[in-house]
Amino acid sequence: MLSRKLVLIVIDGLTPAVLEAAVERQDMPALRFLAEQGEYRRALTTFPSLTPVCLSSLVTGAHPDVHGIPHLVWFHRQEQRLVEYGSSFGAVRAAGTTRALRDAVFNMNEQHLSRSAVTLFESLEGAGLVTAAVNMVCYRGPAKHAATVPGLGRPAFGPSRFFYYNLFESDVTGAPLAVRTRARGSVDEYARVVGRWLVTRDGFDFLVFYLPDYDFASHAAGPEAAHGALARVDRAIGSLLDAAGGSDEFLERYAVLLCSDHGQTRVERAVRLEDAFADFRLFRPGNGRGAELAVTASNRAGMVYRLDCEATPRQLAGRLDGEPHVVLFRENGQAVARRSGAELRFAPKGEGWQTSGDAEALPQSALERAWCALENPNAGDLIVSAAPGAEFADLGGRHHVGGGSHGSLERGDSEVPMLAVGLDAPAPQRLVDVAPLVRSHFGVDA
């Protein structure tokens, strides 16, 4: 017997506390209904807890050591250049607008996402199922789609039903322009109309319904002050329920998994990670010849790449002892976590971890995520998880002081809500457990 179809709803940046408070109120009827019908838990995302990294883990079931996406901004060792997926408009301009758009829209999925990782769109379509995605950043799949924008010229390969910010649309839905007024939720409104069109036609077996505007609002106002954006999220989800003929009818047809990709915490101060290495020759776009280090930072995570540099990772890490950041590096086959001079060494051992040093430097729940981030071949020699309340200014000097941000190993950045409705398995405990659960639901091997 074929399993119920499945809708994966991803609300970018939604924290567990905000969802838990929302479902207790009467003004979020769709979220409240799903919470009443499902099983809920708090789960852990991956690290760095940034959207491209987290969404790649969500749809592959792998941490960055396997899927290869290291950050929002990183240094491409083979091509000797910076990759910028869109930390801010200022960062995109500083990296080169055309190249940054090409990296974010195409190269992330075609080149940077490792072939060792298999997306849900690839595995489910390979089993004869119809998959769909709305605005999903990590979208790699087998179906070829021509661009809707004149001059873009290059096709994208994604799920059979593919809608990506008006740039790629597998079907004509009548949805409005997505990128109009983010502050008023135009991207989520585009997703709402497309999602309603898909459910009305029962046009998929598996749908990823990605809603990014809550994260945009939370960056501006803080995670506890984006109520209006969450109300628009609820309206978008409610349109899916209504399109099936009502809430009960929707759940007769579809199982639901609802989560976010990462959490968010309030930012009180901005830090330039580059300042700790100001006496080195740092890589700059268009002027990288002879650089000793490349420093890439955005939101609450940063990386330091040794280029033509004699200083060891340990020596470089020591420069950050003045701040309570967590600095990660590899040494003699082990990982080292350093915080304000205190160190914890760790490495996998059997089903657990071998550790020595100061356990206060890194909580036990962060060991796997930290190790997998360091094992990513595209990661820096140092990975820095920002101290509570701090954010690293990006390539364009932008930050979110006074609002919210994410990216670190801290619990507030790392915890995500996880709500399962109509599934035979319990709600996943980790973001990387979502893809195996979806495959199991449809009886598909990885």
What does the pLDDT look like over 173-197, one tens digit per residue?
A: 887 777 666 567 689 999 999 999 9
Q: Above 80 in pLDDT, residue 134?
A: yes
3-state DSSP assignment of residue 415: strand
**Proportion of the chain above pLDDT 70, given as a percent:** 97
Whether residues 26 and 137 share a domain: the answer is yes
Q: Above 80 in pLDDT, residue 444?
A: yes
Model confidence at 225, pLDDT cuts 50, 70, 90, reads confident
Predicted confidence at residue 15, as pLDDT, reads: 97
DSSP symbol at 107: I
Q: Above 60 in pLDDT, residue 300?
A: yes
84-111: average pLDDT: 93
What's the CA gap between 322 and 328, in Å, rounded? 15
110-126: average pLDDT: 97
What's the CA gap between 184 and 323, in Å, rounded? 37
Whether residues 21 and 156 share a domain: the answer is yes
Q: Which domain holds residue 119?
A: 5-266+409-442
Cα distances (Å, whole numbers) of residue 55 to 182, 233, 418, 444: 20, 18, 14, 20
Whether residues 311 and 334 share a domain: the answer is yes
* Other Cβ atoms within 10 Å of 354 Cβ, number: 11
Give the number of domains in the chain: 2
Predicted confidence at residue 180, as pLDDT, reads: 62
Q: Above 90 in pLDDT, residue 272?
A: yes
Predicted confidence at residue 176, as pLDDT, reads: 76
Whether residues 347 and 247 share a domain: the answer is no
Whether residues 182 and 311 share a domain: the answer is no
196-213: average pLDDT: 97
226-235: average pLDDT: 93
CB 339 within 8 A of CB 325: yes
Whether residues 102 and 220 share a domain: the answer is yes
CB 141 within 8 A of CB 122: yes
388-407: average pLDDT: 95
Where b means 16+ CB within 10 Å and e means fewer, 192-224 reads bbbbbbbbeeeebbbbbbbbbbbbbbbbbbbbe
Quick: pLDDT tens for 23-67: 998 889 999 999 999 999 999 999 999 999 999 999 999 999 999
Amino acid at 385: S
Whether residues 279 and 166 share a domain: the answer is no
Q: Above 50 in pLDDT, residue 1?
A: no
